[in-house]
Chains A and B, each alone.
Chain A
Amino acid sequence: MEKEKSKTIMDKIWDMFASVKFAVVNFALIALTSIVGTVVEQQVEPEKNIKLLMKMFGIEYDAAQSLLGVLDKMRFTDMYHSWWFLAILLLFAANLIICSIDRLPRVLKLVREKARPLSIEHLEKMSVKKVFSQKDKASHMKELAVSSLNRLGFKPFESSGGQGTQLYAEKGNFTRLGVYITHLSILLILAGAVIGIFFGYNAVLNLPEGEVSSFAYKDRDTQIPLGFDLRCDNFEVEYYPGTDMPKAYKSWLTVIKNGKEVMKKSIVVNDPLTYEGITFYQSSYGAVPNGMGNGILLLNVVSDNGKSQQIKTKIGESFAIPGTSVTGHIVDFSPALSFDQTGKAFTYAGQMTNPAVYIEFFESGKMKYSGWLLKRYPQTWSLPDGNRVEFLDYWGVEYTGMQVRKDPGVFIVYLGCILMAIGLYMTFFMSHKRIWVNISEEKGSVKVLIGASANRNRAAFEQKIEKLAGMLNAGQKGEK
């Protein structure tokens, strides 16, 4: 009573921030407000949310609009960046810090405190306990107990007193810190996120094949200098055979610093390129505007006598098949060729889903044959006269779309994640275990009293004690 009265306001605030009750309030606050944020769409044009509200509450456009106005004022339309959500997170962090400061000294004391021998009366009262007597010598039983404890992974200390010999051992004191490591890890993750927000950026870079950029772009118009040049050497979509299902999006990139090529790497989704803390992620692709007819066609021409030659050409141009008098004239190109029921060719997509070229072949001025060659279907590459035109690539007409990120906080976030895993493992799958084995001689037999405690996972520990008792009892059976 006396104590309560003398508490200052500061003490009261401290107590509030140190309490688990406040933590639970914070959990509820974050969870419940987040729910709203998943229903109201974040960072979209108002029309979308108005339609959503009309649908959800069955109300008229005007009512939905004014409701959205209220939600917008309360920042629910971009709540994860709002001041009040940030404030809740701050309260939550303060809660964690103060709660830990408040309790850590006591826990550290518990961790440092060594197990001590206990009185028989004390052991009798322990919740995990085993008592038995048997014909044996105390010294022999002691040896047996030491080796059995060793086998269970405990290194016992020994003390002798009026009540016989006592072996005592403990394991896992440090696991009591698991909860605090978990809590610290949350703070680290929050700190890493804040560092990322202040010192990092997320941007995009659409880079056509063959082009170089020394900038990434944020919000369309803000240029962010990279500090080096990045060139896209090639971009390609791989498909599952015989389907239009993409298997991989792949860009071949070169980093150029001070005019020198310093790094070459091909990136795919899930495997980005990092240079000087800036990471490039494969995220999209597309056709260069108005560029579809102007690409470079890469063919490998193989004549029927085995001579082969790679050639670069363009639509509308001609090439010769080496060692023969056959020439090909490239008439047409389609980024995504398909045939309708009558066998007529048509283009079904703007993207390079199924590129094809239409080539007319001439020999001594006369057209011999013509047809479509498809990049993804090598069976279309063989010509009737035994020559072969391999369609390798149509280059320079696509761009690769990349996410560009710099985040100096991400290491701290990862460190936090590792700590959290360690902390949770210590908390839930390990425990502070203590064992006492008291051995006393009584009229030619020994009385063994085992007492034990564990701060969690008691049931599993009890089985270990069961095993220990079994080992000590088995010794007796052997002598019988």
Chain B
Amino acid sequence: MNSSTFFGLSTVAYILAMVTYITYLAFRKARIGIVATVLTVTGFVSQTLALGMRWKEFSDVGQMGFLRAVPLTNLYESLIFFVWCLILAYLIMEFKYKNRSFGAFITPIAAIALAFIDISGMSKNIQPLVPALQSNWLLVHVMMSFFSYAMFAVSFSTGLMYLIVRTEKRSEPAYIFWTVMLSVFVITLSAMGLDYFTFKVAIKSQEELIKSYLFKASFLSSSAFVAASSWAIGVAFFFFIWRFGGALKKMVVSFNISHEMLDEITYKSIAIGFPIFTLGGLIFGAIWADQAWGKYWTWDPKETWSLITWFFYAFYLHSRLIRGWKGKKVAIVAVLGFMAVIFTYLGVNLLLSGLHSYGSQ
């Protein structure tokens, strides 16, 4: 058995856990909740094993010291690590707050990340490190960045839940905001699922880049009919969420999740994520760049987007100090902050580099 067996096992466990948590949220049977927790813990344990094994495999292949062989050198490995941190944070939260219903909001993030790995056909091969990556800073820089991303993901979920609980009228901007966010999130997940089922067979080479077929089964389909109906379904789905969002609120409220608790968790996870991101993501990244290239800051898109993310969360922390902002407004900032995180991590590579490349088409 090697690491990918256990990675596969954990993927399946997390996806099942997502379904179970959502079922639990809908039917509120304690037994279903326990099953969901067991599934999550199983997934977590096998993922932990897999991470350890991959680390060992990597250090054998690259003939490097153990510390330099962090399995965090490509998109595939970093997403796996992100999911691991997220689930760890979630399990701590479930234990501490004795409340399972968050699971329905957090496991989908884990599932979307893992599904993304599969449909993207990201290279899962172990590659030896190129010279620029052979640094002891790699370990701390990447690990801390992803740990903080996981914290921000938690704050995204609880921030969204906060908005669900606190909004009343359908015309309210905050209500419209969260319904848009939630629909975009669900629609993206479904569209990626479609890509997965459509192209899994068609794509032969695992090296094929995600850029070439992301959303090609739906919004960007070559068939005008498929593309148009995808957009129509997307818009219809938004209207559905917008019209019946109140039911979601009732569901969350029925779990004794108070908005104070949600606000506290949102703040707490940012209060942990922000300093770790500052140190690991920005400072250690700058030190590394300084050692490798002689420039601690170059305003390249990835760096700049990290800085933008940082400013979003500084915005969040400070806006809490402004009278009259506490509550919905800062929750919106927390949710937007995670959009910046996603863009920093994926958008820069997928969208900006797409815009900035002229070789194709």
Q: List residues of A whose CB falls within 8 A of some B CB.
A: 20-21, 23-24, 27-28, 30-31, 34-35, 37-39, 41-42, 48, 51-52, 55-56, 80, 193, 202, 240, 243, 245-249, 268-272, 279, 281, 283, 403-405, 410, 413-414, 417, 420-421, 424-425, 427-429
Contacts and interface: CB of A to CB of B under 8 A. Distances in A.
A270 B355 contact: no
B278 A193 contact: no
Interface string B113-134: 0000000000000011011101
Given A30-B311, A428-B271, A270 B304 contact: no
Interface stretch (B24-32, B35-43, B158-166, B291-299): B291-299
User: Of residues B292, B322, B358, which shows the largest number of chain A Cβ atoms within 10 Å of its Cβ?
Assistant: B292
A247 B271 CA distance: 39
A38 B130 contact: no
B275 interface: yes
Contacts of A39: 352, 355
Q: Contact residue range for chain B? A: 35 or more
Contacts of A56: 355
B286 interface: yes
A404 B272 CA distance: 38
A20 B321 contact: yes
A439 to B, nearest CB: 33
Contacts of A279: 294
A245 B294 contact: no
Interface of B: 127-128, 130-132, 134-135, 271-272, 274-275, 278-279, 283, 286-288, 290-297, 299, 301, 304-305, 307-308, 311-312, 314-315, 318-319, 321-322, 340, 348, 352, 355-356, 358
Contacts of A420: 278-279, 283
Contacts of A272: 291, 294
A272 B290 CA distance: 10
B322 A24 contact: yes
Nearest to B134: A270
B276 to A, nearest CB: 9
A247 B131 contact: yes
Contacts of A34: 304, 307-308, 311
A23 B314 CA distance: 9
B131 A269 contact: yes
A246 B131 contact: yes
Contacts of A31: 308, 311-312, 315, 340
A246 to B, nearest CB: 6
Given A27-B312, A55-B355, 14 more contacts: A24-B322, A27-B311, A27-B315, A34-B304, A37-B299, A248-B134, A268-B134, A270-B132, A413-B296, A420-B278, A421-B275, A421-B278, A424-B274, A428-B274
